[in-house]
Structure 1
């Protein structure tokens, strides 16, 4: 089994939760549907029996019907995240957060809507003190990154059954990383990318809160790839991408980052947490590219009854208590991206394009030479 970033000997600031995952925030569950079918020779054009894609589902409070405080931020907007207008206006997310590939946002949104209705996973309107079944409104949140270098994106291989699989298999505890779920066909710093996660547990003096991160990493140029200030991109050899068709501009792609916390914070503070995500991305040498959709969303599982038709009595941290949380965001984002790179496996995809996994042994050797690993 491949090692996670810490297991390579890399040192990070801060303590993690039990699983070093977004699921360290109590109640958060994650599920995947991973779609891998066919060999490269089976790709005969759009709609062939060939796919390298999937769906990721994040349930803020698991199977419990819930509405959570939420905020967001875009570093660069060349991507999609649905439900943002209502999120900005109301400060809430109703239901799961989903991630998939660019051309599957529609089917994932519609299928999630159907699942939420069937499972009464929404809050109906209240009339004269009584909930009206089948009423109410919600705007599912679906993010995407483009997997067209490896996947037959235009073949629309994600179906309703895959969305349901991701939702129904969601669980807490340790979760898979790398070539799974929506991250299946992704590329990061011109290595195989995908899904990664990490967490930070704050000291008791700072509240003892947990911050969890999940990324779908499909961004970054190899040339600028850096760990601990050491330039690795041009030092790593023998694993350059193999493109048989179109050669993309380095750094073209996107990253979706989902933040979770149990800290009692409001939507403005959650948006400010999202504004610290680029610090973690930048430490590894990305965040400069116009062709990337760098889109972030955050939610808090605290204040369970904050969504109400009457008066809320939400507990909110003072802004001067936020500094350790902001630091935790940047640190966990950096580690989550590295965990995605560490877990991902070499993949050959559409048109025989081949993206190699980040070579862990080379990385360790280079970092040892620079005194970053003992």
Structure 2
């Protein structure tokens, strides 16, 4: 399918992405190699003008915040925030601070706020126990968010992530669908931290050397360094955005298709992998409060051929977003002197 202007989630008008990257040595063998990424659905007040949203959990080994309410009410009222596993609380607090500063009525004369945060485990490279990500980093990521082109690869929440044994991180892509003069775009942003090197099916892929296994051969006595080399199963967070006017139910269907794009890349969806998809639409907004009990909105027909095109767009943009996370990454060092190299391709995976 055709790609958008930027081939990124920011091809959806109003969507903005911001990063804060933390990179540098701490005391001893510790190293901070982590960060925060913020995805803003539109440039207005997200609490007052919510967007329809849904989520799909392919494998639930994850520690997200806010998805229960998204599923119950079908709307998103905060930025989608990404970080490492032990920093979900700090990022939630920082995002809440930002939203409270914009909306003095929250928690007072109005309702509470649902903040959505996704995570992946970057503890192979990042000293995650140090909890270096603080609330102010989340606020900074939100304030720095812009449309158009943005950094990908080993940046923001993706700084310490590993994908298919090579350096992973942030990746994005988009696809467009047209019918009768109307054009709709689906854009995907991923945080990749999953898979073993021999699983990857991208063209030209050269599988990196695998780390030493955690379980020793019978009768052997592995060294501490061998045990340290065991990497967690990982996770992936997939954020799918579209300007097509889809309701929450339809966005749930779109989110499920993104998992097909993930599967196309080769992953086995490991036991310890949190594979979580969040989808939202900017096709219309849902106002907060007010006296009118009715909302009039335009939505898609499920049986229109364009719906199939949107499904295909979600699959293709997810698959390429994962590839882009590898292509944009760079050799990265982290704690205990560890390092992870960027992906090696024998041939151009994009042809």
Decide: shared fold, TM above 0.5.
Answer: yes
Distance 1:216 1:301 in 2: 21
Alignment match, 1:344: 329
Distance 1:61 1:136 in 2: 21
2:6 aligned with 1:37: no
Give the drift of 1:359: 1.7
Distance 2:287 2:174 in 1: 25
Distance 1:74 1:363 in 2: 33
Give the drift of 1:37: 1.4
2:260 aligned with 1:276: no
Alignment match, 1:3: none
Q: Write the mapping of 1:232-243 to structure 2, written as runs, cut at 5 A.
A: 232=205, 236=206, 239-240=208-209
SS at match of 2:303: helix
Give the drift of 1:63: 4.2
Distance 2:186 2:327 in 1: 21
2:74 aligned with 1:91: yes
Alignment match, 2:243: 262
SS at match of 1:165: helix
Give the drift of 1:200: 0.7
- What residue ranges of structure 1 are gaps of 5+ in the alignment? 1-13, 126-132
Query: What TM-score, normalized by structure 1, do the two folds share?
Result: 0.84
2:141 aligned with 1:166: yes
1:227 paired residue among 194, 198, 202:
202
Alignment match, 2:216: none
2:229 aligned with 1:247: yes
Q: Write the mapping of 1:325-340 to structure 2, written as runs, cut at 5 A.
A: 325-340=310-325
Q: Is the 8 A contact 2:106 2:113 kept in 1?
A: no
1:53 paired residue among 21, 34, 42:
34
Alignment match, 2:157: 182
Deviation string, structure 1 residues 58-109 (Cα, Å, up to 9, x no partner): 1101243331100110110001221111111110111211000000000100
Distance 1:333 1:116 in 2: 29
Q: Is the 8 A contact 1:206 1:324 kept in 2?
A: no
Alignment match, 1:6: none
1:119 paired residue among 99, 102, 126:
102
Alignment match, 1:204: 179
Q: Write the mapping of 1:92-111 to structure 2, written as runs, cut at 5 A.
A: 92-111=75-94
Give aligned pairs, total. Answer: 332
Give the drift of 1:189: 0.3
2:110 paired residue among 130, 135, 141:
135
Q: Is the 8 A contact 2:174 2:185 kept in 1?
A: yes
Distance 2:157 2:334 in 1: 15
SS at match of 2:35: strand
Give the drift of 1:137: 1.5
Alignment match, 1:78: 61
Distance 2:21 2:179 in 1: 38
Distance 2:286 2:44 in 1: 16
Q: Is the 8 A contact 1:147 1:186 kept in 2?
A: yes
Deviation string, structure 1 residues 200-219 (Cα, Å, up to 9, x no partner): 11123484101010000001
Distance 1:144 1:56 in 2: 10
Query: What TM-score, normalized by structure 2, do the two folds share?
Result: 0.89
SS at match of 1:143: strand
Give the drift of 1:263: 0.4
The verdict on how the C-alpha distance between 1:351 and 1:254 changes in structure 2, with shifts beyond 3 A counting, is same
Q: Is the 8 A contact 1:242 1:354 kept in 2?
A: no
- What residue ranges of structure 2 are gaps of 5+ in the alignment? 213-224
The verdict on how the C-alpha distance between 1:306 and 1:207 changes in structure 2, with shifts beyond 3 A counting, is farther
Alignment match, 1:312: 295
Alignment match, 1:7: none
Distance 1:203 1:176 in 2: 28
Distance 1:205 1:177 in 2: 34
Distance 1:280 1:246 in 2: 32
